[in-house]
Chain A
Amino acid sequence: MTQHSTQGTVFESQKFMEFPSMKEALIARKIDATFMNVPLAMKLVLDGVPVKLVYLGHRDGTAVVVKRDGPIQKFEDLRGKVVAIPGRFSNQNIFLHRQMKQLGMPFDSLTIKEVPPPEHPSSLAAGAIDAYIIGEPHAAKAELDGYGRVLMQMRDAWPKFISCALVVRQEVIDGNRPLVEELVRGIASSGEWLDADRTTGAQHRKDAAVVAAKMFYNQPQKLLEFVLLKDTTRVSYTQLTPIQADLDEMMELAVELKILPQRIEFEQYVDASFAPDLDSIELKLDRLPDVDKIAAQ
């Protein structure tokens, strides 16, 4: 999509297998911006790394997955079970605690294990864990491969669940505002485009699945199609402007959970000024160019 941004700047993307290396690349100024879990961004700022959260990556798109034929039918059944999370500083970890709090379960009623995201489905298949909570497409993988069942989608328990957010280095924000504006505008437009026809055929998402599978992230096309198309409300790419109430709730929970050593004010780590006025976004593009050619590759 970058080649279609308004100014035509090409933003180079780089895939990381895990959060720590990505975080270190950001600290060492080898990358300028990245998508990361929100609590991790808060912790980075508290630790003195000059970055700001400027936009969200998507909403919803996280699920709790259990064994298909297992006995777990509702969240309370997870009591005493081993649940994998992608990391302590993940929104998923925060969710588990929010849910336990709401249901009046003691915080130690689950055994929570930090497991790298790509290993969640295989650990469930091997019986090493009883459940996992993760963003897509890892949640869908177990479902698609037949051994997993979605216990709950985030949108049912915590509507408008925030998973990843766009974090940009302060130096880049101060040194080149128009560039960050262009980047955020590009992400906002892509999101609007992805969700524009999701209730009417979702052709945009079909195209996106092909292009993403073939050209970017080396994920099976079938899996991406499953995530994006089977239920088009599974992941949302709109309403991505950071809103203080949402993020404050997450921050307070993170402090309660002691993954943040202290509270952090919204203004300290968020710069919402880049979020574009969505009415001004004009979707010039319908289908992605050359999709058929790419699909045939």
Chain B
Amino acid sequence: MNFLPYLVVVGALIAIAAASRLRDPLPKYLLPLLVAVIFVCLWQVAADAARYELKDADGQFVRWVEVFPTPRSTVLGMVQPVKDGTLLRYAISSVYRVAAGFGLAAVIGIPLGLWAGWYTRGFEALNPLIQALRPISPIAWIPLAVLWFGVKDAAAIFLIALASFFPIVTGSMTAVRTIPMVYVRSAQNFGLKGFELFRRVVFPACLPQIITSLRMALGIAWMVIVAAEMIAVDSGLGYLIMDARNANYYDRVVGAMISIGLIGVALDLMMRRLERFDEVRWGFSKV
């Protein structure tokens, strides 16, 4: 039995306990790092628990059979795709598909949401349909996507656009509908109306909430990449997972999962930068 991961977990827990007693502000990355260490150790423990001894017909030990990749085998399995540039190339393809799908969803979703939010009739007409389509998993759309767009990039982009469209449209719709009436009325008192009222008051008032829905939608778009790349494309991190899975490279499956997680964090950090603009910042008390 391998005791090392248990020892490291205990060590990390002691470090966390000790750190919480310190008065000085802790280095920002200390706690997340310790938690990550604990996570990796638990992963190792789980992988050890899954492997089993193979015995021959006489009950003699033959060898260990690994069932689940360990942290170490995952790192080793990723050496090749990192070295020959496939990982980078695939990451770029996936980000491209997500950018295209998400962009499309935003371009259609924001105006539609604002319109449907502003006109009550529009809301009443559209909202039930949107709410009914929203819970359908993008995976269920795969056959239709193939039917409409074939087995090319367009089908994958469609799925991503579809998945990110609903949070954007719902978010924009709710944003308009929940603007404090006092903003609108004071603007009207200043003589603003029509498109001018919309451009100068309604839209800025909605922006913080729209940005939040965009952030959520980008997270969903990125999450859908694996499902979207199940369609016969031949690049991307989702494809890497499928392809490695078919070829029994489970270390690469886990490696690609981790890559997706890390890029997802990076995308979210970029999205959060949008919240720092003055036009948006007023909506966030904590910024």
Tell me whether B55 is interfacial, beta carbon within 8 Å.
Answer: yes
Q: B114-122, B218-226, B242-250, B273-281: which one contacts chain A?
A: B242-250
Among B54, B232, B234, B245, contact of A170 (Cβ-Cβ < 8 Å)? B54
Q: Which residues from chain A contact B248 at a C-beta distance below 8 Å?
A: 23, 43-44, 47, 49
Interface residues of B in 15-66 (CB under 8 A from A): 50, 52, 54-57, 65-66
Among B66, B242, B246, contact of A48 (Cβ-Cβ < 8 Å)? B66
Distance, CA A48 to CA B234, complexed state (A):
27
Q: Which residues from chain B contact A48 at a C-beta distance below 8 Å?
A: 65-66
Question: Number of A residues whose C-beta is below 8 Å from B?
Answer: 32
Among A87, A122, A171, contact of B146 (Cβ-Cβ < 8 Å)? A122
Interface residues of A in 84-100 (CB under 8 A from B): 84, 87-89
Among B56, B66, B143, B242, contact of A119 (Cβ-Cβ < 8 Å)? B143
A123 touches B146 (CB 8 A): yes
Among A27, A114, A122, A125, contact of B232 (Cβ-Cβ < 8 Å)? A114
Tell me whether B151 is interfacial, beta carbon within 8 Å.
Answer: yes
Q: Min CB distance, A114 to chain B, in Å? A: 6
B54 touches A50 (CB 8 A): yes
Q: Which residues from chain A contact B82 at a C-beta distance below 8 Å?
A: none
B151 touches A174 (CB 8 A): no
Distance, CA A174 to CA B54, complexed state (A):
10
A115 touches B246 (CB 8 A): no
Tell me whether B265 is interfacial, beta carbon within 8 Å.
Answer: no
Q: Min CB distance, B140 to chain A, in Å? A: 13
Among A19, A82, A126, A175, contact of B147 (Cβ-Cβ < 8 Å)? A126
Among B50, B65, B150, contact of A50 (Cβ-Cβ < 8 Å)? B65
Q: Which residues from chain A contact B232 at a C-beta distance below 8 Å?
A: 84, 113-115
Q: Min CB distance, B151 to chain A, in Å? A: 5
A43-B247, A115-B232, A129-B151 given; A27·B146 CB < 8 A: no
A27 touches B147 (CB 8 A): no
A49-B65, A174-B55 given; A89·B151 CB < 8 A: no
Q: Min CB distance, B250 to chain A, in Å? A: 8
Distance, CA A159 to CA B19, complexed state (A):
72
Among B57, B148, B246, contact of A88 (Cβ-Cβ < 8 Å)? B246
Give the residue among B152, B234, B242, B248 with the most A Cβ atoms within 10 A: B248
Q: Closest residue of chain B to A127, judged by CB?
A: B150
Contact with A along B230-270 (1 / 0, CB 8 A): 00101000000010011110000000000000000000000
Q: Which residues from chain B contact A115 at a C-beta distance below 8 Å?
A: 151, 232
Tell me whether B76 is interfacial, beta carbon within 8 Å.
Answer: no
Distance, CA A29 to CA B50, complexed state (A):
10
Among A20, A47, A50, A175, contact of B245 (Cβ-Cβ < 8 Å)? A20
Q: Which residues from chain B contact A43 at a C-beta distance below 8 Å?
A: 247-248
Tell me whether A128 is interfacial, beta carbon within 8 Å.
Answer: yes
Q: Closest residue of chain B to A20, judged by CB?
A: B245
Tell me whether B67 is interfacial, beta carbon within 8 Å.
Answer: yes
A128 touches B146 (CB 8 A): yes
Distance, CA A19 to CA B142, complexed state (A):
18
Q: Min CB distance, A231 to chain B, in Å? A: 29
A-B residue pairs, 8 tightest by C-beta? A128-B150, A174-B57, A126-B147, A113-B232, A47-B248, A128-B151, A20-B245, A50-B54
List 20 additional A-B contacts (Cβ < 8 Å) besides A88-B247, A128-B151.
A19-B246, A20-B242, A28-B50, A28-B67, A43-B247, A47-B248, A49-B65, A50-B65, A89-B246, A89-B247, A114-B232, A114-B246, A123-B150, A123-B151, A125-B147, A126-B147, A128-B147, A128-B152, A171-B55, A174-B57
Q: List 27 A-B contacts (CB under 8 A).
A: A19-B246, A20-B242, A20-B246, A27-B67, A28-B67, A47-B248, A48-B65, A48-B66, A49-B248, A50-B54, A50-B65, A87-B246, A88-B247, A89-B246, A114-B246, A119-B146, A122-B143, A122-B146, A123-B146, A125-B147, A126-B147, A126-B150, A127-B150, A128-B146, A128-B150, A171-B55, A175-B57
